Structure 1
């Protein structure tokens, strides 16, 4: 057989796929995930945060904890959508987006540590709920499954824009991370739209916004 022969791709059983998702979930909630891209804020130098007061550090940490929870949810949501996606191109697109969300997850975790803080205690709950939501979304017609992704990213963009206004002016490290996150989310939204995302019917976007508000208000502190 020549080197140009087509390779047969092994298909994983549902049980093997489930085990893989459990392993991915443990990586996310345990904080052992690794970023594929360097931190947009660069290497940490403690002198960079000397201009921040203790109140500003606590506020930055609260905002970055919210962002970290958002990435936990995005990771679970996209993996849930991909788990039962009907078409392979859609599954691949969702998994590629999920991989970039891992970078965001790691960067937020690093920034929280730099600020002397921690991730949310509720991360396992948010992951499980978001994965289940992704499964439900993927059972709808594909245009709405992609529409769910596009609407999620649209709301995340607005959320990150708000954080850029709220972050202390001196906190350039957090700001650089949030800017890169926002740029990636815009790219994900446009990708979903190019693949045929449909606008979600009311009241789904409003319910998504309400759920997001509950998540952000609790994870800022817990």
Structure 2
């Protein structure tokens, strides 16, 4: 007969460190097939390829930030169901991370040089949100995912028309993000005070400007 092992603070610290290393420096595998599937790839003109790579690098950074946010929130979530919701969402974000990384390689590009910073900042924000309580935890999920939905819509419109592989990936990502937000709302998310969404949007614009090139 076996019993569940109780995790020590050191165990939890090592788990969080491993998650950070996997997200920032590793290549965590996606559980679901890449939505681009058999969509034909085409040779893009140099400017179009650079633009597509810049957009996909932004989306890759977004998934790095999502991992940091969700893992930080889950680490301090009080309710087991909230923690499970956050970790489930994080797994789907891992799929997105893998798909975006694949597409960057296909475009002969690379992830952002600042990924360690993006992850650390997002983890800190997630932890602080979680410490305020599960309603705030879920409120941050809703606001984050709604803002991500908006920038995915923007990218779907501005991708080079011939880049159907990137477009197929972003379509599935948008569906997933909307579902994460809906689930969080139904689970009891709080509406964040007015200044917080505005600050989040400002930080997102700064991240996108930097990540597009670096």
Aligned to 2:159: 167
SS of aligned partner of 1:42: coil
Partner of 1:86: helix, strand, or coil? coil
Is 1:94 equivalent to 2:86 in the alignment? yes
2:204 aligned residue: 212
Shift of 1:43: 4.8
Say if 2:39 and 2:164, in contact at 8 Å, map to a contact too.
no
Residue of structure 2 equivalent to 1:40: 35
Alignment of 1:88-167 (within 5 A): 88-167=80-159
Runs of 4 or more above 3 Å deviation: none
Contact 2:78 2:133 in 1 (8 A): no
Matched, 1:15 2:10: yes
Shift of 1:83: 0.3
Give the whole-Å Cα distance in 2 for the aligned partners of 1:108 and 1:80: 22
Partner of 2:53, secondary structure, is helix
Contact 2:77 2:133 in 1 (8 A): no
> Mind listing any 5+ residue stretches in structure 1 that lack a counterpart?
2-6
CA shift at 1:208, angstroms? 0.4
Distance 1:142 1:79 in 2: 14
Is the Cα–Cα contact under 8 Å of residues 31 and 109 in structure 1 kept in the other structure?
no
Residue 169 of structure 1: SS of its match in structure 2? coil
- On the 8 A contact 2:32/2:95 being kept in 1, the answer is yes
Give the C-alpha shift of residue 8 in structure 1: 4.2
Deviation at 1:15, TM superposition (A): 1.4
Q: Please give the TM-score of this superposition, normalised by the length of structure 2.
A: 0.97
Q: Secondary structure at the match of 1:40?
A: coil
Check if 1:193 corresponds to 2:204: no
Of the three residues 71, 79, 82, the one matched with 2:71 is 79
Q: Which has the larger radius of gyration?
A: 1
In the aligned structure 2, how far is the partner of 1:77 from the partner of 1:100? Answer: 13
User: Normalising by the residue count of structure 1, what TM-score does the alignment of the two structures yield?
Assistant: 0.93
